[in-house]
Each structure stands twice: as structure tokens, then as C-alpha cells.
Structure 1
Amino acid sequence: MTDQREVSIDRRPGRTLSVEDGLDALLAAYHLRTEAEKGKPVAEVNELPERYRAEISDPRIAFVDDVVLVALSGSTAVGCLVVTAPVDGRSEIKRLWTDPAHRGRGIASDLLGAALTQAAESGASAVRLSVWNWRTGAIALYERLGFAVTESWDERDQLVCMERAV
């Protein structure tokens, strides 16, 4: 079993990503799980909406203007998170995912900490994110890290929008 101390966070601007990073598998798991939780389960990546398939098939292009943080256990990708470049002083966190076999070891917290550092270094004054309201564990984690529910910028039902200063 992997000890949390063996996990490192690697910053990757979109242009340096490759399929060999294992990011594609993490994104596939994230999107497949999300669709299932929304009540729209699909068995394979090729059944996902096109915008998600594009992220999985070529994250380098999908996240070209973003920074992707990858949690590595040795050379194995076990978690990921995308931080957007600031717009109007705010960066956005997207696609936080930890491989279920590696959960409970602080990987998501480490990724979020690295994302907040990245956002501050890029000049953001705040970081925002959206999360489905049934992901209560994720919401609790965000609240522990200082995120607060804010007015929604997304009209999708059951989506909670959160923000915090950096």
C-alpha cells in the first residue's frame, strides 16, 4: 500500500501533458463516475459527451491554457486537478479526482493546496469551483479549506458554486 508521504504533486502546463502521464485514465474515471452519479451511466469513454471525450483523448489540447496538477505515487498518476488561468482576478478549479484506491491519504487536500498556490502565483485574488450537491465529502473538504458557497454562475441544477480568497 502506498504511504501518503510517497505521493508528490507535479505541475504541468497543458502543453507538456502526454497520454503516458496517466491523466487520461484519471479523467476517464472522473467523467464516467460523474455521469453515473447524474443518473446517466455509460459503460465506456466513447459513450461520453464529446466535450469529455476530447479532454480524455488529448488533455494537452483541452487544457492548453491551464495548469494541470498530477499526484504521483512513484510514476503512477493517482490524482489530478486543473487550475485555469485567472479571469477577472479568479482562477477556477476543475476535475479534482483521486483514484478510489488511493483515497483517504490527503491527496485531494494536497492537490487543492497546490492549486491555491498556483492561483496565487498566477495573480488570482480568488479561486472558485463548482461541485455536485451529492458530493458531500468533497463539499466538506472545500469548506475545511476555506471555500464558502457563493452565488451560482452555472445554471445546472444541483450544482453548488464555492469560492475563497487566495
Structure 2
Amino acid sequence: MGRWPGPGARTQEGPAALLLAYHLRTEAEKGAEVTEVDGLPERYRREVLDPEKAFERDTVLVASTGGRLVGCLVVTTPVEGRAEIKRLWTDPSLRGRGIATRLIEAGLAACADAGAEAVRLSVWKWRAGAMALYERLGFGVVESWDERDQLVCMERAVGGVAS
């Protein structure tokens, strides 16, 4: 686990390929036939094409194995005591090995280091496995702050108790 970019990351390779896979999968799950970066909505396309700029105020965590990036997670800078975890993605061929759990745990530590009191996230309701993982890690469902249909909002205290 390491921060990207930075000396703490095991590789300086960027997370663009992981972000692209994340966004393409999400668009496919929503029923859109997007197969390349140019077909993504503009805000997602910017993340893929220039993740360093897109997340310049945030913390990007990466997981690697054998010198290859296999997972990523973005933690936003806290606002009014709350940070947000987003863009959690692990290589599908390596799922079930604890990579996502370790990324979230590192994200929670980054939230604590940044002085956040709570951390929130949103997840599509059809991603039952991700929701179960978040619940195991202390997140609870809260009132939605996002108007998109089928998006579930979750939160927990940085110290571990759901808000």
C-alpha cells in the first residue's frame, strides 16, 4: 500500500488504467455501452486522463503486486470534519485476497491523519459485495446526500463507529 504519487508508493505508475476499468465497469452496470475513455462522461474522463490533476487535493492510495498496480482508492480532503472514500477498485482477477480491505483501512488512516472525524462513501445498490465489505468495516447506511437513483450513501466515524 502506498500513496500516489510519492515516495511511499511502490511504483510511480499512475492509477489511470485502474480508474478507466472502474468507470467502464460502472457505466456498463448502468446500461451504457462505453468501451473507451472517450465515451465516458467528462468528469470521469478527466480523472482517467490526468489523475494527478483531478485528485490534486486528495489522497490517492494504490496497491501493487509484482510491480503492477492492482488496486486504488481516493480519499478526499476533509470538509467540515468529513472526508469521502471513492473510486475503490481492485483488479477483478485478484479479488477476495484482502486488497480492498487494506486499501480502505489505509484510507481510514489517511482520514485520521487529515483530522477527519467521519468518512463517507456512496455505492451503487447492485454492488452487494462492496456494501457487505463496507458494513463489515463499520459503515452504516445514512440519508442520501446524492440524488442519483440506486446510489446508497454510507458513513462511519473515523474511530470506527457508524455515524
User: What residue in structure 1 maps to residue 83 of structure 2?
Assistant: 91
- Structure 2 length-normalised TM: 0.91
Q: 1:157 aligns with which of 128, 137, 149?
A: 149
Contact 2:62 2:72 in 1 (8 A): yes
Q: Deviations over 1:69-116 (max 9, x none)?
A: 000113210000000010010000010000111111000000000000
Take 1:143 and 1:85, find their aligned partners in 2: how far apart are those partners?
A: 23
What is the count of residue pairs matched by the alignment?
155
Q: 2:80 is paired with a residue of what secondary structure?
A: coil
Which runs of 5 or more residues in structure 1 are unaligned?
A: 1-8
Does the 8 Å CA contact 1:70/1:81 hold for their aligned counterparts? yes
| Unpaired segments ≥5 residues, structure 2 | 159-163
Which consecutive segments of 4 or more residues in structure 1 shift more than 3 A? Answer: none
RMSD over aligned CA atoms reads 1.6
Residue 35 of structure 2 is matched in structure 1 by: 43
Paired with 1:74 and 1:83, the residues of 2 have a C-alpha distance of 24
TM-score after normalising by structure 1: 0.90
Name which structure has the greater RCO, CA cutoff 8 Å, separation 6+.
1
Q: Corresponding residue for 2:59?
A: 67
Secondary structure in structure 2 of the residue aligned to 1:160: strand
Residue among 86, 111, 115 paired with 2:107: 115
2:47 pairs with 1:55: yes
How far apart, in 1, do the equivalents of 2:37 and 2:93 lie? 20
* 1:142 maps to 2:134: yes
User: Contact (CA 8 Å) 1:31, 1:52: kept in 2 or not?
Assistant: yes
State yes or no: 1:12 paired with 2:4: yes
More helix by share: 1
